[in-house]
Structure 1
Amino acid sequence: MGRYTLDDILATRKSRDAWWTVFMVDPIACRLALLVANHTSLTPNALTGFSMLLGFGSVAAFGVGELALGAALFYLSFMVDCMDGKIARLKGTGTPFGLWLDFVGDRIRFACCAFGLGVGEYARTGDHGFLIAGVGVVLLDFFRYINGPQLKKVKEATRSLAKARAQTQVVFVEDVLKARPETDALTVAREAEENRADGKAVVDLQKEFHARFPWYDRFRLTLIKYRVRTHFFSGIEFEAAVFVVAPLLGSWAFVPTSIGAGALLLAFEISLIYRVWLASRQIPKSAPKKEQILV
């Protein structure tokens, strides 16, 4: 007991995370994780289970109209959910089953909270808007979890086709940026020009995207300084808006917040689809010979 330091815990954080997690959760979650690591024998799965219990407490609070209590319990549930991954990485005790439990627990908590809040407020007010908002929130969450894996398959297929068309060694720009996140697109472009000067063909799957949105790379580099990912309004921010911010504001805020947050989440998902579509347009039309391609 007591062998871990705060620096050890900080080292287990994801290299980039949602801004809500970075600024609103991790400062507390890391310190609580340190106490858990040094003074208890709780496993990551036990923390996941505790997170689910807090989530069900949030559902119950929403259902009986205690919205502020429900928001607080949801926030605590999410915080504990962040802690289990840190403990798993710190002690090397994570398991494949733990990943499944964490994922399923998150989805159950989300759906139950949405229906608890929507049905509870409908029962008290008779306003069908609460029911519709609750169902809409669940459907949007369902869509993003279907859309993500499918877009990943499209990206993998795009990469495979690019390699097949190239018929030679291929280096992907996205891999370069992942390995060197502080590198900007202009640097990569200069490297590409050097390759072109050697008579090597250059193909960049993100070329059209960066040409249309030149500010994006500066935005990405600014966020990296704070460990924030470019998914600026993803599922985590959606959950926080609907189940923390809206309940704290009051019953009246649930429907408009759900609509606003849902629109932002849908816009984000559409932007991901658009980016993958642009990348698919950059695949070489024919296979060059004896060239190294930077993709």
Structure 2
Amino acid sequence: MVEKKRENYTLNDVREQTYKRRDAWWTVWLVDPVAARLVVPLANHTRITPNQISVLAFLFGLFAAGFFLQGDPMSLAWGALFFHLSFVLDCMDGKIARLKGTGSVFGMWLDYMLDRFRVVICSVALMSGQWLATEQTSYLFLALFIIFLDSLRYMDALQLYKLRREMKKRVRRGRMKEEPIIEEEENIQGEMAASAEEISSPSVDLNQTFKRRFQWYLNIRDWLEQHRIRPHLFSGIEFQMFIFIIGPLTGLILEMVVVSAVLLLTFELAIIYKLWLSTKDMDRELTVE
């Protein structure tokens, strides 16, 4: 993609052109305010590319893993700091890409793969450090458990995204009696990060049953969206931050793994339940037609 010929980007430019309509609360409150301000000088005074920022974010993740492996409280605190900085940089690559028009399909793949490698390396390092410090082999199994849940979350998000698109397409076909709709180019990474997206559009609303059963939730959802926070309050992002930042800073590593795992699975089950209700709406729509 050709870079836009533009300099002197402002903070408002970054907010208006790069902020997602809805994002994780951790990103909205703890990352975007910092990342946006760092993007301005980088966009105006450097030629750094999104892919270079992705690699730099991964290197910060390796620094975090090195500190996690040492296992002592001070090293854990430094590890948490570097992990947070790694995530800040990870959010900046997308902002630079959207602001300057320098995004690419390869960059999406690179960003996604480096994120997964960072989780694997930091999981092994954090739990290995605790195993060396305590000689409790259960920590080694926790590393595998974290990696499994992180992978499950992102694989499930991708499949749910595909199913939602297919459901809406079937309803549109039933209504319009047209040939199959050709899908536009997909931003898989962005859609996976927003896996709680409503299965609705101006012409297709497959959330009618859910809205009738959980009317109390709609006011909460509206308030969250007014503050750019997506209703999926505990996603893969919060899962990682609880384990790799809050856990090391508080010394409650085992407890944070348990709490974050329960919350992640609870929200995943809620999304699956919502999807199941949507299939009922889809069946009714097709039956009526």
Q: CA deviation at 1:46?
A: 0.8
The 2-side partners of 1:142 and 1:287 are apart by 37
Q: Identify the residue that residue 201 of structure 2 maps to in structure 1.
A: 175
Structure 1 pair 124/214, CA: closer, same or farther in 2 (3 Å)? same
Q: Identify the residue that residue 246 of structure 2 maps to in structure 1.
A: 245
The 1-side partners of 2:129 and 2:38 are apart by 32
Moved more, 4-13 or 280-289: 280-289
The 2-side partners of 1:166 and 1:287 are apart by 11
Q: Does residue 7 of structure 1 match 2:12?
A: yes
- 1:166–1:288 Cα contact (<8 Å) kept: no
TM-score, structure 1 normalization: 0.83
The 2-side partners of 1:210 and 1:217 are apart by 7
Equivalent of 1:146 in 148, 155, 160: 155
Q: CA deviation at 1:224?
A: 1.5
The 2-side partners of 1:241 and 1:274 are apart by 25
Extract unaligned runs of 5+ from structure 1: 178-202, 290-295
Q: Identify the residue that residue 284 of structure 1 maps to in structure 2.
A: 284
Q: 1:127 corresponds to which letter in structure 2?
A: Q
- 1:166–1:287 Cα contact (<8 Å) kept: no
Equivalent of 1:76 in 79, 85, 92: 85
What is the correspondence of 1:59-98 to structure 2 with a 5 Å cutoff? 59-65=65-71, 66-98=75-107
Q: Which has the larger radius of gyration?
A: 1
- 1:52–1:77 Cα contact (<8 Å) kept: yes
Q: Which structure has more RCO (C-alpha within 8 Å, separation ≥ 6)?
A: 1
Q: Identify the residue that residue 259 of structure 1 maps to in structure 2.
A: 258
Structure 1 pair 130/173, CA: closer, same or farther in 2 (3 Å)? closer
Q: CA deviation at 1:285?
A: 7.4
Q: Does residue 208 of structure 1 match 2:209?
A: yes
The 2-side partners of 1:79 and 1:173 are apart by 30
Q: 1:256 corresponds to which letter in structure 2?
A: E
- 2:164–2:199 Cα contact (<8 Å) kept: no
Q: Identify the residue that residue 228 of structure 1 maps to in structure 2.
A: 229
Q: 2:284 corresponds to which letter in structure 1?
A: P
1:169-228 CA-to-partner distances (Å, cap 9, x unmatched) read 9xx971139xxxxxxxxxxxxxxxxxxxxxxxxx95212111221122111110122111
- 2:11–2:36 Cα contact (<8 Å) kept: yes
Q: How many residues align?
A: 260
The 2-side partners of 1:286 and 1:97 are apart by 38
The 2-side partners of 1:22 and 1:256 are apart by 25
- 1:130–1:254 Cα contact (<8 Å) kept: no
Structure 1 pair 158/2, CA: closer, same or farther in 2 (3 Å)? closer
- 1:17–1:228 Cα contact (<8 Å) kept: yes
The 1-side partners of 2:13 and 2:202 are apart by 28
Moved more, 37-46 or 203-212: 203-212
Q: Does residue 56 of structure 1 match 2:38?
A: no
1:117-149 CA-to-partner distances (Å, cap 9, x unmatched) read 011110121112322222111110111112112
- 1:129–1:255 Cα contact (<8 Å) kept: no
Q: Identify the residue that residue 46 of structure 2 maps to in structure 1.
A: 40
Structure 1 pair 206/93, CA: closer, same or farther in 2 (3 Å)? same
1:135-168 CA-to-partner distances (Å, cap 9, x unmatched) read 1111101111121122223223333443455465
Q: 1:51 corresponds to which letter in structure 2?
A: A
The 1-side partners of 2:56 and 2:145 are apart by 27
Q: CA RMSD in A?
A: 2.1
- 1:44–1:98 Cα contact (<8 Å) kept: yes
The 1-side partners of 2:287 and 2:92 are apart by 48
Q: CA deviation at 1:244?
A: 0.5
- 1:37–1:87 Cα contact (<8 Å) kept: yes
The 2-side partners of 1:229 and 1:288 are apart by 32
TM-score, structure 2 normalization: 0.84
